[in-house]
Amino acid sequence: MVIGVFVLSGAAGLVYQVVWSRELVLVFGNTTEAIGAIVTAFMAGLGLGGLVGGLLAPRLRRPLAVYGVVELLVGATALLVPLGFTLIEGVYHGAYDTASPGQLTLVRVLLSLATVTPVTFLMGLTLPLLTRHMVTSLHTAGAHMGRLYSANTLGAMVGTLVSGLVLIELIGLSSTAHVAVALNAIAGCVALLFAVRMQPAAVEHPSSAIGDGGAGSASDRRLRALLYAGTFVSGFVALSLEVLWTRMLAEGTGSRIYIFVVILAIYLLGIGAGGAVYRRVSSPARDTPAALAVAFVGMAVSAVVTVPLATMWITNTNIARAVMLLPATFCMGYAFPLAARLLTRTPAHGSRSIGVLYAWNTVGSILGSLAAAFVLAGTLGTNGSILVLGAADALVALLLLYAGGAARHVSGLRLIAVTAAVTIVPPLLVATGSPLLLTATERNVQARGLPLHHTEDRIATVDAVGGPAYLRRLYVTGTAMTALSVDTKLMAYIPRLLRPNAQHFLDICFGMGTTFRSALLLGMDVDAVDLSPSVPLQMPTFYPDANSFLHSPHARVITADGRNYVRNSSRTYDIISVDPPPPIESAGTVVLYTKEFYADARARLNPGGMMLQWLYFGVDLEQLREHLATFRSAFPHMLVLLSPRHGGMYMLGSDAPMTWNDSQAAALFDSSSAISDISDAPDYQYLPKQPWPVLMDEARWLYDDQVDRFTGNVQLITDDRPLTEYYLLHQLFASGSHHSVTYAQLRSLAP
């Protein structure tokens, strides 16, 4: 029953991580700096809690009762976290325009620590407390440690799957967090009920435990130091790999949330399975430094082989690509409880060993996640970083083999030779620029013989494909973001037609720079915001004159989260144009489709200003109604135009009516500058052969109350109900057709 309680606790912990990370991203933005601050705050609490719990647990007579109280406190404090988010949002908003980037990062870290660290500190206490309760004999210490570790991890996997696949779509983010609170309450109450029937445990005095000071031989002290260092490296490598594997496996998938859910679930499954197997095979004879070294070698080899598997051999099956993470994560799950057992000298000391070890592991995890995003991906690249991290695990294995005396045996020498090879060869491959470093996207483009500029930054892999204009593409994480198109140019021309005196233009999502360039050609002052620092730098691949626009005195390119910029910037605009990256279902993109975003955008508009949002035909009819109704909720006036290229629609909103006449359309589109700009798009030749005033009149579809009649009473897309991102139940069970809408279908449905 105690193990079942810890499964519930693990499930609740992952639910909190999913929900709170998302809510903090809404406050701070989806930048790497913001996510790094969130991860740091979340894991710092866990590590500190593990350390404190490990030091206190040996003194407790009723550790199970204390555990029950801690679980109840986790649930109670979790209920206060949303209030904390509301409070810190105001502080962050006040600092956004005045703080430097470095100061803003510090503000994010401090505010994140203030809100989530108290709860995660309490979570960190739980593993040492239950270890103190369960471990009563050195003979079974390893088995119980493995059992607890695997139970908590497998519970986390269940929490990941249930929240990601069902709960968030069904009941929303806030209610999903309340489910986690209920799990904590159940775990706490059950633990307290069982604790009442338990006999008090013997209290261990600090001096009776070997391993905390000068006790033990010099070799013991060296081994303990190596175990702590190895666990630090293991945490560093594990979290770095989680970031990099997710990036590698998401290549070309469209970055849908369910890809990330599956990757995380398999990652946790491997760790949980490793802990479970360790529980079954643990014995004093098998729990040796050499066994731990073998686990580290397994991590190293398994990590290294994921690179060719994912980029060369298994490129089309998402599940198969994710499953290849199992061997490495299995070894991670086996290694942690084994290291804790090797540090344990008395039964009661087990809680101290696992608590201190957990703290070292967590510190490594924090630094690993930050290093992967801020340093490794942008310097060594995703594949190169994975190879080097595998070698780091192999180096730890070498040290463990030496400490365990493996060199005294022939079999040990063979293992040392293999481990040394794994330590040396991967860095050599990186240093020599091996073809193994190429991503799947690079390989595909090179096979087509097209010129390519590849770069990786802290956000994603970015590939700019050159060549003939009709073949030029921008890929982000292996997904084609855009091509040169009339549709994208019209995102500058249509608002200018409706607001001819507009001067200040905000372009969210830079893409190839097409809308940015056209808005500057129209004589407006343009601010362009993009999440990736590398994307705007690719513009010269697509436009030979790009540098004159990028360095124009009327242009400002900002690396930021577009949603966060709109919410917190003090600047106002006459026009805001948004072209979210495809597909609509991409993880994180929903923040540019919610009711709250549209309300924030309207607040950034000057009186009479206008917002334009591009929506391509990648949704079914019910989802289209949700998008239109959500956009409409923010604007007294709404106009919907269907693209002349029949690939999507322009949603336009304003606090003033939106009309034009044929003479205005002719004056704008028939100017020499507009003709030169628009006709430069490769798909211009496929436009209907009609004058622009006619094309624009035919593009009209819905206006104001016509939108209301078309949408009816549908659910709105909100920050709490991110329906575009979490859509699985809709596809499986909702009535009606799930085929994407078409131009002809929408024309037939117009009021």
Q: Do residues 105 and 139 both lie within one domain?
A: yes
Confidence (pLDDT) at 203: 52
Give the integer Cα–Cα distance in Å for 542 and 725.
30
In a domain, 465, yes or no: yes
Give the integer Cα–Cα distance in Å for 573 and 571.
7
Q: Is the pLDDT of residue 196 over 70?
A: yes
Pairing of strands 525-530, 555-559: parallel
Q: Is the pLDDT of residue 425 over 80?
A: yes
Average pLDDT over every residue of 385-412? 85
Nearest to 614 by CA among 495, 748, 522, 527: 495
3-state secondary structure 466-513: CCCHHHCEEEECCEEEEECCHHHHHHHHHHHHHCCCCCEEEEECCCCC
Confidence (pLDDT) at 234: 94
Q: Do residues 90 and 54 both lie within one domain?
A: yes
Give the integer Cα–Cα distance in Å for 121 and 56.
14
Work out the mean pLDDT of the chain and round it to a whole number.
90
Give the integer Cα–Cα distance in Å for 666 and 185.
67
Q: Do residues 454 and 575 both lie within one domain?
A: no
Q: Is the pLDDT of residue 215 over 60?
A: no
Nearest to 474 by CA among 535, 402, 387: 535
In a domain, 210, yes or no: no
Domain, as residue range, for 138: 1-201
Confidence (pLDDT) at 199: 67
In a domain, 213, yes or no: no
Domain with residue 157: its CATH number is 1.20.1250.20
Average pLDDT over every residue of 240-253? 89
Phi/psi for 439 (5° steps) reads -80, 170
Share of the chain above pLDDT 90, in %: 69
Binning pLDDT at 50, 70 and 90, where does residue 351 land?
A: confident
In a domain, 215, yes or no: no
Confidence (pLDDT) at 679: 95
Domain count, the chain: 4
Alpha-carbon distance values, 65 to 8, 90, 369, 411, 618 (Å) = 17, 39, 34, 48, 53
Give the integer Cα–Cα distance in Å for 615 and 493.
17
Q: Is the pLDDT of residue 410 over 90?
A: no
Q: Do residues 229 and 195 both lie within one domain?
A: no
Q: Is the pLDDT of residue 155 over 50?
A: yes
Task: Give, in degrees to the nearest 5, the angle at Cα 559 between 554 and 562.
Answer: 95
Q: Do residues 127 and 255 both lie within one domain?
A: no
Q: Do residues 652 and 666 both lie within one domain?
A: yes
Confidence (pLDDT) at 206: 46
Confidence (pLDDT) at 255: 83
In a domain, 727, yes or no: yes
Q: Do residues 388 and 288 both lie within one domain?
A: yes
Q: Is the pLDDT of residue 642 over 50?
A: yes
Q: Do residues 233 and 109 both lie within one domain?
A: no
Give the integer Cα–Cα distance in Å for 676 and 473.
21
Q: Is the pLDDT of residue 174 over 90?
A: yes
Q: Do residues 460 and 490 both lie within one domain?
A: no
Q: Which amino acid is at 76?
A: A
In a domain, 218, yes or no: no
CB 478 within 8 A of CB 601: no
DSSP 8-state secondary structure symbol assigned to residue 471: G
Q: Do residues 431 and 444 both lie within one domain?
A: no
Confidence (pLDDT) at 210: 37
Q: Do residues 161 and 184 both lie within one domain?
A: yes
Confidence (pLDDT) at 34: 79
Q: Is the pLDDT of residue 569 over 90?
A: yes
In a domain, 206, yes or no: no
Q: Do residues 536 and 625 both lie within one domain?
A: yes
In a domain, 38, yes or no: yes
Helix (H, G, I), strand (E, B) or coil at 534: coil
Alpha-carbon distance values, 262 to 162, 257, 333, 422 (Å) = 11, 9, 18, 29
Instruction: Please state at what angle helix 101-134 crosses helix 81-96, rounded to 10 degrees.
Output: 160
Instruction: Please state at what angle helix 218-249 crosses helix 381-403, rounded to 10 degrees.
Output: 160
> Which comes out higher in pLDDT, residue 572 or 210?
572
Q: Is the pLDDT of residue 660 over 60?
A: yes
Confidence (pLDDT) at 214: 45
Q: Per the structure block, which two tokens stand in for 630?
A: 């959500």
